[in-house]
Structure 1
Amino acid sequence: MSEPEEELQGEKRESTKKKKKEKRSGKKKKKEEEEEEEEEEEQSECVVLRGIFKLGKKSHDVLLTRTKLSWTPILPETPTGEVCVVQPDMVLLQDVFAVKVKRRRGIGQQSGGPVLGMALFCCKRRGRWLEEDTLHLHNASSEHTHTWYNTLKELLTGFSSRPRYLKVFINPSSHKKDAVHIYREHVAPLFKMAEIRTDITVTERKGHALSVMKECKLDEYDGVVCVGGDGSVAELCHALVLRAQLDADSPEKPVKPVLPLGIIPAGSTDVVSCSVHGVRDPVTAALHIVLGHLQQVDMCSFSSLGQLVRFGFSAMFGFGGRSLARAEKKRWMPSSRRREYALVKTLARLRPEDCQLSFLPVKKSNRDFFAHLEHDQDQDPESEGEESWTTNQGLYLSISIMSIPCLSPHTPQGLAPNTSLANGSAALIAVGDTTRSEFIKHLKRYSSSSGQFSFSFVETHAVSAVRIRPRSLIGWSEEDSEDEGESKTTPIIQSQGAAFPWNIDGELVEISHEVVVRVHPRLITLYGEEVDEAESNVSCSCI
């Protein structure tokens, strides 16, 4: 064998040895990890305390581990000596948000009194609804009760995602103007029970929360809470990202906020709340906050001529923008009537918009990548290269871009059922020019189970960026205005230049030029859990 061949054989042997060694090392590492997991599981299931408490009128054997509390009734022996096996009841500590010592007190007595036992305040699930429940453990021994109380308090403090101090914003003008009542009656008692301190700001005008967020010391808080509708939520989400950019001295690129946002629904549709809770229920929302249930959520940036307009979750151009513009002119109407009036009026004067629509499609393989991406806010969709943009020119009745499903009681499957909260993409829904009757059929199917996209004039795409460039930048005016005192040529939107109405998170935004929308995966953290469908008890009567 020649010398080069011997060297080659030697290299092969060394390579084989190295691979075998790495394989053994990998197996060893995997085995160590499995052993560590088993050890942690054993430790978590190890009994911390065991004692006797009365639940109702029966005595129970109660066991406490690091993850759960279980109890089994103590049964007397049968005359035959047979052992009756009873399955224990159980509550997970992750569902317990408070523990209190129970005492017997006289009328007017504020403190002291003989010990009666403990009360554990828990969260009980009923579908997507979360409800407060109480477990009463009776034992007259003060020493025994306080030992259990102190141990439970120590275990509950181990849930690091649970907030201790919250900055709360309440919009008293949202929907039926009962946000203050909702907070006082349903939310504040739960926060007090969980020993969560709050700093409350009742907003006085649009933009008030944004101005407060720019100035306050956020490092004092564990989270921010919004009590209001989608407009208030959008303002606070925008404010959180802007403040994060300011703190990081990064004016060009979005920065993920440190603090999570909790949403207490008090609006007319509460799309964002429904998307992270599944129901419009203040108690459910408050319990998600108290228990520290966190959900990473994608957001979009909307910019025009290189200038940031705002951050948000959804936008509608065309029909959605026009109907909102009409609704804003009828603020004196009740919200439901105003919404129906605007929809019917816009449908009566339905016309398409001639524009250039460009987008960056997200491949399926990339969606899996985005779904596991945590810190990718520096990603620029345009960095993927101009050649990857798809451009169409045509007439469109409606164009929607949504980074969340936009669930609501009116649309239980969501306006964008093909996207999710954190898949790193947005749903682009472009409705081309068609007849009024066909467009109404498309709209009606949003309130049913499916089929809203099964029309030849509707196209949907999963995208990372969208550019909408109206062919004619002369703006939009209501040709046949029937409002008193208005000229037929008076634009519905007054601005420095002619502007197109956009519906961004339920807020009317006037933009005169092209708009670029970019998706920023997992840009913000919300209290809640991802859901597939919202509960609906509303029948749409607007069409």
Structure 2
Amino acid sequence: MSEPEEELQGEPRDSTKKKKKEKRSGKKKKKQEKREEEEQQQVEEEEEEEEEQSECVLLRGIFKLGKKSHDVLLTRTRLTWTPITPETPTAEVCVLPPGVLLLQDVFAVKVKRRRAVGQESGGAVLGVALFCSKRRGRWLEEDTLHLHNASAEHTNTWYNTLKELLTGFSIRPRYLKVFINPRSHKKEAVHIYREHVAPLFKMADIRTEITVTERKGHALSVMKECKLDEYDGVVCVGGDGSVAELCHAMVLRAQLDADSPKKPVKSVLPLGIIPAGSTDVVSCSVHGVRDPVTAALHIVLGHLQQVDMCSYSSHGQLIRFGFSAMFGFGGQSLARAEKKRWMPSSRRREYALMKTLARLRPEDCQLSFLPAKKSNSNLFQHQDQDQDPESEGEESWTTNQGLYLSISIMSIPCLSPHAPNGLAPNTSLANGSAALIAVGNTSRSEFIKHLKRYSSSSGQFSFSFVETHAVSAVRIRPQSLIGWSEEESEEEGDSKTSPIIQSEGAAFPWNIDGELVEIANEVLVRVHPQLITLYGEEVDEAESTVSCNCL
């Protein structure tokens, strides 16, 4: 009898132990939850404190704006001014809305003085001038706010405080390496820099070291040798060719510095692009407009945008880094245009376009692509940029064999005045993927309809012979592996079903960022998320200022 009693008594002991453990664990959970709540509350209180401190009034004074006196308040983030209006006979006060200027839009502050003709220093103090950026759509314009006060002590106090606050924007550049291509487009790059860009840099107290390039590859050779740790950023004044060369050079330099010959390494310094070319595709994609002042103000204010890039390689050998590539029609038309460099750029472009359309023929090739993962862009930031598409497994690749008139791979929208919505409107600057646009074999008239829709609002992809994909890698393998040449026989007619085949050993023309690259073998394109940082802001469309009338 005693044994069963012991067993029966043992059960409640175990259950009470379990209950005690559960109570302890419950208490621990409650304590942990309470601790987390307290920590969260503390973080929120600190954030509120920081906001209150940022909005805490640092200075208050009377200044004249125009002819009226204003009550001016300065905080760490903004300047506000309210007109001082006298009371009416009925003791009513007319309350006007205050003016507001965010300090993030101010790039320089100067003391205003009255000086005689020829006087270079000294003079009676008149007040403070704030030089700022004013937004008009996608355009940024230089603007000035004049605060008049004849008190030297009052003015200097405001000047020193404003100067200190502006110095706190650490992301803004102080020393820039500038490359100018004097032969870009209409050879206006030097004039554009001197007239529109240099004065803004001087106003913002930005020092510069300028290199005027003398030949193709000059910027690349300089970038390999110069001490980049001295600079806060690099600036390119030129067209798409100059931009492509510098972007390629900056990534290569990052690889050299990191001793990583195979793995692409993100460039340490940001690149600013001052448009001075004929199309300025990269500048339009980053700024939305082809305006040197807008581009310069983005640099001065330190507006940064992370941008994806592609690597182009053949048989394991890197060809270059870039943003866009065209095979087929795009490469052929550029090859023809390059042979007519003596023509003006617009005429040369139209000639090459019409000539290529007249001899329109498809390329027989194998097109393989690796679809981009359908996830948010944050995932791409953590992917290994050197990850070989082959490692994803052959089953994840999609392969098509056939005749193609044009194949384009673009990691940016490629906005331009000729394509205001972009050549690849379904991609963005930093979504971790590229747009693959494959145009299959079709008649000349249908292909022209497809091209003409790039200059309109939309519909360029609403054809049965056009397919688009978001991809992380693309492989193009021409079946003939023989090549293309412009020296085609005029007697061959306008056959639409046979590929262009020339003598063995020739190469196929590729248009990579507006530069002609001839490649005889297959090409592998890989997308590398956020490989470079550019000064600017991502936009949806470019300002349409030029229309192509060649079709």
Alignment TM class, shorter chain as reference: over 0.9
Partner residue in 1 for 2:416 = 408
Deviates more, 1:359-368 or 1:326-335: 359-368
Q: What's the offset of the Cα at 1:262?
A: 0.1
Residues 485 and 506 in structure 2, CA contact (< 8 A), matched pair in contact too: no
- In the alignment, the residues of structure 2 paired with residue 21 and residue 31 of structure 1 have an alpha-carbon distance, to the nearest angstrom, of 15
Residues 325 and 493 in structure 1, CA contact (< 8 A), matched pair in contact too: no
Match of 1:40 among 10, 35, 50: 50
Matched, 1:456 2:443: no
Q: For residue 455 of structure 2, what is the amino acid of its counterpart?
A: S
Q: Sort the Cα spacing of 1:82 and 1:218 in 2 relative to 1 into closer, same or farther, 3 A.
A: same
Deviates more, 1:34-43 or 1:273-282: 34-43
Instruction: Determine helix, strand or coil for the equivalent of 2:452.
Output: helix
Partner residue in 2 for 1:295 = 305
CA deviation map 1:336-377 (0-9, x unaligned): 01101111111111111111111110132255522xx26753
Partner residue in 1 for 2:435 = 427
Matched, 1:93 2:131: no
Matched, 1:535 2:548: no
Matched, 1:396 2:404: yes
Match of 2:392 among 380, 384, 393: 384
Instruction: Determine helix, strand or coil for the equivalent of 1:365.
Output: coil
Matched, 1:50 2:52: no
Instruction: Determine helix, strand or coil for the equivalent of 2:115.
Output: coil
Q: Sort the Cα spacing of 1:2 and 1:427 in 2 relative to 1 into closer, same or farther, 3 A.
A: farther
Q: For residue 416 of structure 2, what is the amino acid of its counterpart?
A: S
Q: For residue 345 of structure 1, what is the amino acid of its counterpart?
A: K
Q: Sort the Cα spacing of 1:17 and 1:496 in 2 relative to 1 into closer, same or farther, 3 A.
A: farther
Partner residue in 1 for 2:232 = 222
Match of 1:516 among 518, 524, 528: 524
Matched, 1:274 2:277: no
Q: What's the offset of the Cα at 1:14?
A: 5.6
Which structure 1 segments of 5+ residues have no match?
483-491
TM-score of the superposition, structure 1-length normalised? Answer: 0.94
Residues 317 and 400 in structure 1, CA contact (< 8 A), matched pair in contact too: yes
Match of 2:181 among 171, 185, 203: 171
Match of 2:164 among 142, 154, 158: 154
Residues 376 and 521 in structure 1, CA contact (< 8 A), matched pair in contact too: no
User: Could you say what the CA RMSD is over the residues aligned between the two structures, in angstroms?
Assistant: 2.0
Match of 1:128 among 122, 133, 138: 138
Q: What's the offset of the Cα at 1:480?
A: 3.3
Q: What's the offset of the Cα at 1:538?
A: 1.6
- In the alignment, the residues of structure 1 paired with residue 454 and residue 83 of structure 2 have an alpha-carbon distance, to the nearest angstrom, of 51
Q: For residue 475 of structure 1, what is the amino acid of its counterpart?
A: G
Instruction: Determine helix, strand or coil for the equivalent of 2:391.
Output: helix
- In the alignment, the residues of structure 2 paired with residue 531 and residue 81 of structure 1 have an alpha-carbon distance, to the nearest angstrom, of 51
Q: What's the offset of the Cα at 1:27?
A: 2.8
Matched, 1:478 2:494: no
Instruction: Determine helix, strand or coil for the equivalent of 2:190.
Output: helix
Q: Sort the Cα spacing of 1:531 and 1:374 in 2 relative to 1 into closer, same or farther, 3 A.
A: farther
Partner residue in 1 for 2:507 = 499
Q: What's the offset of the Cα at 1:5?
A: 6.8
Partner residue in 2 for 1:487 = none
Q: How does 1:58-457 map to 2 (within 5 A)?
A: 58-365=68-375, 367=377, 369-370=379-380, 373=381, 376-457=384-465
- In the alignment, the residues of structure 1 paired with residue 371 and residue 398 of structure 2 have an alpha-carbon distance, to the nearest angstrom, of 8
- In the alignment, the residues of structure 2 paired with residue 352 and residue 11 of structure 1 have an alpha-carbon distance, to the nearest angstrom, of 76
CA deviation map 1:124-177 (0-9, x unaligned): 000000000011111111111000000000000111111000000000000000
TM-score of the superposition, structure 2-length normalised? Answer: 0.93
Partner residue in 1 for 2:4 = none
- In the alignment, the residues of structure 2 paired with residue 22 and residue 471 of structure 1 have an alpha-carbon distance, to the nearest angstrom, of 65
Q: For residue 136 of structure 1, what is the amino acid of its counterpart?
A: H
Partner residue in 1 for 2:3 = none
Q: For residue 40 of structure 2, what is the amino acid of its counterpart?
A: K
- In the alignment, the residues of structure 1 paired with residue 26 and residue 478 of structure 2 have an alpha-carbon distance, to the nearest angstrom, of 63
CA deviation map 1:249-286 (0-9, x unaligned): 11110111110000000000000000010000000000
Q: What's the offset of the Cα at 1:234?
A: 0.3
- In the alignment, the residues of structure 2 paired with residue 362 and residue 18 of structure 1 have an alpha-carbon distance, to the nearest angstrom, of 45
Residues 423 and 521 in structure 1, CA contact (< 8 A), matched pair in contact too: yes
Q: What's the offset of the Cα at 1:10?
A: 6.3
- In the alignment, the residues of structure 1 paired with residue 174 and residue 501 of structure 2 have an alpha-carbon distance, to the nearest angstrom, of 45
Q: Sort the Cα spacing of 1:144 and 1:474 in 2 relative to 1 into closer, same or farther, 3 A.
A: same
Q: For residue 395 of structure 2, what is the amino acid of its counterpart?
A: E
Instruction: Determine helix, strand or coil for the equivalent of 2:375.
Output: helix
Partner residue in 2 for 1:485 = none
Residues 495 and 510 in structure 1, CA contact (< 8 A), matched pair in contact too: no
Q: Sort the Cα spacing of 1:413 and 1:12 in 2 relative to 1 into closer, same or farther, 3 A.
A: farther
Residues 297 and 421 in structure 1, CA contact (< 8 A), matched pair in contact too: yes
Q: What's the offset of the Cα at 1:463?
A: 0.5
Q: For residue 258 of structure 1, what is the amino acid of its counterpart?
A: V
Q: Sort the Cα spacing of 1:430 and 1:14 in 2 relative to 1 into closer, same or farther, 3 A.
A: farther
> Whose radius of gyration is greater, 1 or 2?
2
Partner residue in 1 for 2:497 = none
Q: Sort the Cα spacing of 1:166 and 1:496 in 2 relative to 1 into closer, same or farther, 3 A.
A: farther
Q: For residue 186 of structure 2, what is the amino acid of its counterpart?
A: K
CA deviation map 1:319-339 (0-9, x unaligned): 000000000011011000110
CA deviation map 1:481-537 (0-9, x unaligned): 67xxxxxxxxx9999932110000000001111100000000000000000111102
Q: What's the offset of the Cα at 1:87?
A: 1.2
Partner residue in 1 for 2:494 = none
Instruction: Determine helix, strand or coil for the equivalent of 1:474.
Output: coil
Residues 315 and 401 in structure 1, CA contact (< 8 A), matched pair in contact too: yes
Instruction: Determine helix, strand or coil for the equivalent of 1:61.
Output: strand
- In the alignment, the residues of structure 2 paired with residue 512 and residue 65 of structure 1 have an alpha-carbon distance, to the nearest angstrom, of 62
- In the alignment, the residues of structure 1 paired with residue 88 and residue 297 of structure 2 have an alpha-carbon distance, to the nearest angstrom, of 44
Residues 331 and 511 in structure 2, CA contact (< 8 A), matched pair in contact too: yes
- In the alignment, the residues of structure 1 paired with residue 397 and residue 35 of structure 2 have an alpha-carbon distance, to the nearest angstrom, of 45
Q: For residue 255 of structure 2, what is the amino acid of its counterpart?
A: Q
Query: How high is the sequence identity, in percent, across the aligned residues?
Result: 85
Q: Sort the Cα spacing of 1:334 and 1:88 in 2 relative to 1 into closer, same or farther, 3 A.
A: same
Q: Sort the Cα spacing of 1:252 and 1:113 in 2 relative to 1 into closer, same or farther, 3 A.
A: same
Q: For residue 339 of structure 2, what is the amino acid of its counterpart?
A: K
Residues 483 and 504 in structure 2, CA contact (< 8 A), matched pair in contact too: no
Q: What's the offset of the Cα at 1:542?
A: 1.7
Instruction: Determine helix, strand or coil for the equivalent of 2:533.
Output: strand
- In the alignment, the residues of structure 1 paired with residue 504 and residue 121 of structure 2 have an alpha-carbon distance, to the nearest angstrom, of 65
Q: Sort the Cα spacing of 1:14 and 1:439 in 2 relative to 1 into closer, same or farther, 3 A.
A: farther
What is the aligned residue count?
532
